[in-house]
Structure 1
């Protein structure tokens, strides 16, 4: 792009302060554990930490949410994976005392009025299984006692008496009719088919067709009249018999019920007395007793097939109708804490099973199964937000349950449209649960933006920190955190030096001498591997060398890509110069990241110039290999160059800038100072030192800005210098604001201490130019020929300006 002049007052061209060479003490902050008792020699003497380490903000949010009972105060825990959010949350919840504990056991039982709508029983916490066993015991007793009550002489005598009374009445009525018929010359008999028959008598024998026809017409008519009259009376007697049989049946049923009632009262009384304070249970027992009286056939059924169907069960040999399905039974914990690893629809909300008996598929209340929400009712349910959102219907079902504060199993089953065999509509269970979702910032922002219900149902955000301040007190706190991991996993104890090394590793992970990483998963993994190394060495405790060995093993497992790239420097396929001086060529530093490893490596950046219109042509951008941040960095350094070399006239050069041997995308602005130095070298034709690499971004005023991965970048250049041959002049330039991020390898710290390697910090790009080019960057500009400001001829900007002026003069001559 054309470089126009900018206001000179905004440009800082002169920087008198030279680059600062860092001492070895500034490259690594050792942990001295000053706040620990000097007599503390290992984690065996440290009290394990039960608090959420370094997460005071998140802990306050959780305490607030757990202390408020109103609807909608559920928690979304924000933070990267590996922070130990779940472990820390569980540790806090396990020692949390609920304000108003209201825990119940939940059971499903048959609804005697409508079997399709099972009823819910709410029992005091811990009594559900006991109640189930009590009912099972009762049923097993009744299964034996009721048949025995109906199988004794007293019952048979009473039943026989009722039956004889019925038989006597029926027989008397028929005898009376038979006698009347006989007096009229008619015989009343019962056929083989069980039907009554009336026949005219010829003396003592029935008339045959011949003898009957021989009678006079009047005699025949008289017989017909008499038979019709008798048939009318017979029908009346049959109706009367039916009434007597109904009376007998009612009397027999009353007798049976009285017998059964005497048995039931005896066996039900202890249960009713025990649960008389629980109205729901009391009503259920009352309804069960009445239902047993109505369905005595279940206990007295003689048909084997019907009996088997009534007793068909996956568990106990007792009538299914009277089983108790304990859905949730609370333990001894003050309140339930449930972690749902795979929140599918059924695992979360429960489901209804089906059973098959002799080819028939059926279901009932005893086949209702609980989900995680049932188990966490009255407590806390912890889930991963992404897993909840990935599974069909789960998020909508969860919102519905939280809004209604009910677990309506029936409506959930209908929504997923399962098999038609599910035909139950269980009574909803009241829901009182706190949901804790773990997720990252991106998922949180998406839910906030696209789901209006989210902010109403998850009103509390627990934002977990990635790092904590590193002080003497926090190091001691961190040592107790290490002790808690050691104790929880039954590892060998760490001695004092091992604790210090792990604290230093945490600071390296945080990329800051003043911070400690809170990625507890990484610390736990390091401790496990250190424990393995210590046991392999048959040591009685974990020492510093075991931690070092574990770190070395980790590095070796994931460093294949780095080794392959370093091999390209060894065989010369990747060009790099670490000794000479070259015009327009500089060693910049970059970081390559994989899923589990990142490392630094130098990149050669070159700049060439040609007569042109003042453009800086970023080749990476032109071929679409440069990212937007990199392109922004190039534009910023372009603006800076315009401020120091093009304040009054256009720069008559086109500059070509590129990363050599780069065949993939380039992004980030951490090479902008290196690119600026390469361009100045190309314009001034002054050679750059190749034994120094540089990293850092810059603003439009040339001020150095911090970048990421500074440790890896320095280590990458140091390793390449070892490959290409070490010299005592080699080193790296970094922004002064990155000094606090240095936690370098010990071999580099030792090299700096011996003056065999150097690290310089700068606050302005001109300090880097002076170090790399061996000349003062700029002197105070003075007004020269034609009113133009001129730098001194012995400074870099002055040399560059002279060459540009010569080009401008040449352009005017043409």
Structure 2
């Protein structure tokens, strides 16, 4: 028989901090640089970060609470990559106003460029009007006007003299029109005096006036040409004055940015545009210039502003690492705002706003995969940007509607970014199956582990991991007792003495709550007692359902015996899980027999309350019993099997050993001890198989025994393969150490049957016969009697 009674040292593994000899608190420990216990994921991240080619983005897989994001941020922070970064600006495109121009500047120089350009423009706003408001400019302008006036007056005077010789007067009426009038001496003819003239004189006047009008039209055309010539000269004069002023102010800028061709070309284009639009600087009408100057920031022409979209710190060694908590389309890809001025809605390049991809350009952007997939159009937009490696800031509204609203089409920005998506296995598998682009764009999978092997060296690293959390959250330092207790808690979370849990969220929450308990006690360090207090408070908050169910055992509502013995009745163990808590709960399983055809009637399955795995377990134990007792002849019994007082679904095969023992007890009519509970799965050969939740199951039966009355014979049977999973609470370990509670490990269901019936289960000899004074021997004898009676 492979049965072992476990001692207290096997029920709980204490932390070994012998490698931390010089450590008194977490202050003496250096924070952990690497991703603890995640060598596979860390290797994948290092590989992806070292390749800048398209498609080598990362999908980090793991359950929630593993601290994937925190560990990734810590790794990226402490392992910076060499990357050339740029500041990005949008400026006016003076040739195509609807297509704002993008400028790439060396990291950290964008703010200075914006400041210098806008400072220059603000100085020009003052300097240009002053250049046109001085005596030199006025003398030159007056000279041009005088020359024009003299030429006009001389030509008109010549025509007036010629007209006077022909007794015709040239006058200019108030509307500015020229008029030729026949003279009667020194005064113009009236209609009556003109009509009284002889026909020959009137004809002579008409001929003279027609000739003079012809001359006048030619002179007017000449005057117009001279005015245009004057206007051209005046404009050239203005441009010459403005060019001198602009050249003076733009020269330092051009010299400073002479090595950046795009910037120098932009400054030249701005200078030319200012020459073409001098009225923006010289016009005094507020109504005409209001829209040109309408700005949310500065009192300067909007077209000459610089929209600094993204700026990087040139002194920082770290490339940008951005965490996007809410990846909406506009939040990720940027957008163009609208502004209103005196009832007019308008937009331009200065209203372009950056998104997370702009800020992460040249670095890493971290997002939750589920949130990305939930937001409309975000996944498609992200794939489009990663494929093209450009950020094309187009209006989402225009893409998804039939509206013909005029909008901007900014020049795209070159995109060089690593995307890290965090998700679980289900999300990863769905994307792989349904989206053919996914594997092309996310070629690297960082698979995060749930647990890590436990050893003294690993516990030392885990202590540094605890120190990192304490440091990052600015908590009180933990002394060695607290470090040890948290490591032991982590092992309990992993459900294995040989493993440590990597669910950093649970450890961080425990540390924060322990910090609160220590602060409440005015302690300067977190000690084990504070960790225990935090754990007790956690359990108290979430244990309402367990307390309600336990109350049923204390008042007798839930029928369960923890003393005596009974035939076909056994105490099995199960785990009840809520969203934030799981606990063990004993259940009574009963088996009854009646004459039949050797069938096992699973009442849970018949009532459609049994899950598929539970049904499989029942069929496996049926096969084992048939192989054991019905190898040569059918078992002439129908066996009914059920979970008593179970009104919800039952699944899993962890009760199959208990069910098998109950059935064999019913067949053999041998009573089963009720002071013992059992858990464990089995195969067709009766071998015990490991199950989950073994700690909770043992503690659940221990608590019920305390409620219903303790006996020193009470205990639990578990599979031998579950011994390494034991990290029991202190009350159970102490009870075992004092001999007041027992835990047996078994390798075969027959071993469990021997303990439960206080009799050897029995092993078949070469002829297949069992010893008479054994459980199986008694069962075989009872079946033989039934077969004989059936034949008779």
**Interval of TM-score (by shorter of Structure 1 and Structure 2):** over 0.9
For 2:74 and 2:757, locate their aligned partners in 1 and report how far apart those are by CA, in whole Å: 58
Instruction: Describe the SS at the equivalent of 2:518.
Output: helix
CA distance in 2: counterparts of 1:368 and 1:239, whole angstroms: 51
Displacement of 1:518 after TM fit? 0.7
Structure 1 CA distance for aligned equivalents of residues 175 and 216 of structure 2: 17
Return the alpha-carbon distance in structure 1 between the equivalents of residues 464 and 287 of structure 2: 68
Alignment partner of 1:300 is 2:282: yes
2:687 and 2:747 in contact (8 A); partners too: yes
Matches within 5 A, 1:92-103: 92-99=75-82, 101-103=83-85
Partner-residue secondary structure (3-state), 1:601? strand
Residue 796 in structure 1 maps to residue 775 in structure 2: yes
Q: How high is the TM-score relative to the length of structure 1? A: 0.95
The 1:290/1:745 distance shift into structure 2, 3 A limit, reads same
1:264 maps onto 2:246 in alignment: yes
**What's 2:616 paired with?**
632
Corresponding residue for residue 323 of structure 2: 339
Establish whether residue 433 from structure 1 lines up as the match of residue 417 from structure 2.
yes
CA contact (8 A) 2:661 2:753 kept: yes
Q: Which runs of 4+ in 1 moved over 6 A?
A: none
Match of 1:471 in 2: 455
Q: Is the 8 A contact 1:630 1:669 kept in 2?
A: yes
- Map 1:239-258; keep pairs closer than 5 Å: 239-258=221-240
Match of residue 554 from structure 1 = 538
Distance in 2 (CA, whole Å) between partners of 1:222 and 1:126 is 86
- 1:618-657 equivalences in 2 (<5 Å): 618-657=602-641
How far did residue 513 of structure 1 move? 0.3
Equivalent in the alignment of 2:190: 208
1:284-433 matches, cutoff 5 A: 284-331=266-313, 332-334=315-317, 335-410=319-394, 414-417=398-401, 423-433=407-417
Residue 163 (structure 2) aligns with: 181
SS at match of 2:384: helix
Structure 2 CA distance for aligned equivalents of residues 592 and 329 of structure 1: 53
Query: CA offset at residue 803 of structure 1?
Result: 2.1
On the 8 A contact 2:398/2:405 being kept in 1, the answer is: no
Match of 1:23 in 2: 7
Q: Point out where structure 2 has 5 or more consecutive residues left out of the alignment.
A: none
Residue 73 of structure 1 is aligned with which of 56, 59, 64?
56
Task: Say if 1:26 and 1:549 are closer, same or farther in 2 by CA, change over 3 A.
Answer: same
User: Offset at 1:421?
Assistant: 5.3
Q: For 2:216, which of 230, 234, 249 is the aligned residue?
A: 234
Distance in 2, Cα, partners of 1:60 & 1:508: 28
Residue of structure 1 in register with 2:135 after alignment: 153
2:453 is the alignment partner of 1:481: no
Superposed displacement of residue 535, structure 1: 1.1
Q: Is the 8 A contact 2:771 2:777 kept in 1?
A: yes
Cross-structure match for 1:607: 591
- Greater displacement, 86-95 / 645-654: 645-654
- Give the CA deviation at 1:500: 0.7
Alpha-carbon deviation of 1:717?
A: 0.3
CA RMSD of aligned residues (A): 1.4
Count of residue pairs the alignment pairs up:
790
Describe the SS at the equivalent of 2:650: coil
8 A contact 1:381–1:434 mirrored in 2: yes
Q: Distance in 2 between matches of 1:694 and 1:609?
A: 21
In 2, distance between residues paired with 1:117 and 1:355? 18
Asked if 2 retains the 8 angstrom alpha-carbon contact of 1:585 and 1:604, the reply is: yes
CA distance in structure 2 between the partners assigned to 1:617 and 1:510 by the alignment: 37
Aligned equivalents of 1:233, 1:677: Cα separation in 2: 133
Quick check: 2:2–2:748 contact (8 Å CA) kept in 1? Answer: no
Evaluate the alpha carbon distance shift between residue 810 and residue 251 of structure 1 in structure 2; reply closer, same or farther with a 3 A threshold. Answer: same
Aligned to 2:153: 171
Q: Distance in 1 between matches of 2:193 and 2:23?
A: 132
Shift of 1:172: 2.1
- Deviation at residue 343 of structure 1 after TM alignment: 0.6
Instruction: Assess, with a 3 A threshold, how the Cα gap between structure 1 residues 337 and 44 changes in structure 2: closer, same or farther.
Output: same
1:94-124 residue CA offsets vs partner (Å, 9 max, x unmatched): 122324x210000000001111100011100
CA distance in structure 1 between the aligned counterparts of 2:166 and 2:548, rounded to whole angstroms: 127
Given candidates 96, 99, 109, the residue that maps to 1:114 is 96
| Residue of structure 1 aligned with 2:257, choices 275, 287, 295 | 275
SS where residue 658 of structure 1 aligns? Answer: strand
Of 724, 729, 732, 2:713 maps to 729
The CA distance in 2 between the partners of 1:230 and 1:679, in whole Å, is 137
Structure 2 contact 493–500 (Cα < 8 Å) conserved:
yes
Deviation at 1:222, TM superposition (A): 3.2
1:64 matched to which residue of 2? 47
Q: Distance in 2 between matches of 1:290 and 1:530?
A: 68
Which residue number in structure 2 is paired with residue 697 of structure 1? Answer: 681
Partner of 2:362, secondary structure, is coil
SS of the residue corresponding to residue 29 of structure 1 reads coil
List aligned pairs for 1:125-136, cutoff 5 A: 125-136=107-118
Partner of 2:86: 104
Using a 3 Å threshold, how does the CA distance of structure 1 residues 797 and 614 change in structure 2: closer, same or farther?
same
Q: Which has the higher contact order (CA 8 A, sep 6+)?
A: 1
Deviation at 1:617, TM superposition (A): 1.3
CA distance in 2, matches of 1:66, 1:562: 48
Q: Deviations over 1:262-320 (max 9, x none)?
A: 11111111111111111111111111111111111110012111222211101011111
Deviation at 1:420, TM superposition (A): 5.9
Distance 2:129 2:269 in 1: 21
Counterpart mapping for 1:465-544 below 5 A: 465-544=449-528
* Alignment check: 8 A CA contact 1:782 1:791 kept: no
- Deviations 1:469-503 (CA, angstroms, capped at 9, x unpaired): 11010001111111111122222111111111111
Deviation by residue 1:49-93 (Cα, 9 ceiling, x = unmatched): 121111111111111111111111011111111111111111111
Contact 2:398/2:404 (8 A) holds in 1: no
User: Which one of 748, 751, 764 corresponds to residue 767 of structure 1?
Assistant: 751
Q: Which moved more, 1:667-676 or 1:194-203?
A: 194-203
* Inter-partner Cα distance in structure 1 for 2:702 and 2:670: 25
1:42 aligns with 2:25: yes
* TM-score, scaled relative to structure 2: 0.98
Q: In 2, distance between residues paired with 1:333 and 1:810?
A: 93
CA 1:782–1:487 in structure 2 vs 1: closer, same or farther (change >3 Å)?
closer
Secondary structure, in 3 states, of the residue corresponding to 1:410?
coil
Give the whole-Å Cα distance in 1 for the aligned partners of 2:688 and 2:580.
30
Given that 1:351 and 1:413 are in contact with CA atoms closer than 8 Å, whether structure 2 keeps it comes out as no
2 CA distance for matches of 1:367 and 1:359? 17
Task: Tell me by how many angstroms 1:346 deviates.
Answer: 0.6
Does structure 2 conserve the Cα–Cα contact (< 8 Å) formed by 1:705 and 1:737?
yes
In the alignment, which residue of structure 2 is the partner of 1:3? none
Contact 1:733–1:761 (CA<8 Å) still a contact in 2?
yes
Unaligned runs of 5+ in 1: 1-16, 784-788
Alpha-carbon separation, structure 2, partners of 1:152 and 1:513 = 92
Measure, in 2, the Cα distance between the counterparts of 1:422 and 1:726.
82
Q: Does structure 2 conserve the Cα–Cα contact (< 8 Å) formed by 1:352 and 1:422?
A: no
Task: Decide whether the 8 Å contact of 2:681 with 2:688 is kept in 1.
Answer: yes
Change (3 A) 1:132 1:413: farther
Contact 1:465 1:518 in 2 (8 A): yes
- Whether 1:138 and 2:120 are equivalent positions in the alignment is yes
* Aligned-pair CA distance for 1:419: 7.5
Distance 1:301 1:228 in 2: 44
| CA distance in structure 2 between the aligned counterparts of 1:679 and 1:231, rounded to whole angstroms | 134
Question: Displacement, 1:333?
Answer: 2.7
Q: Distance in 2 between matches of 1:421 and 1:355?
A: 15
Confirm or deny that 1:563 pairs with 2:542.
Answer: no
Greater mean alpha carbon deviation, residues 677-686 or residues 504-513: 677-686
Structure 1 residue 412: Cα displacement: 5.1
Shifted more, 629-638 versus 709-718: the winner is 629-638
3-state SS of the aligned residue for 1:241? helix
Shift of 1:42: 1.3
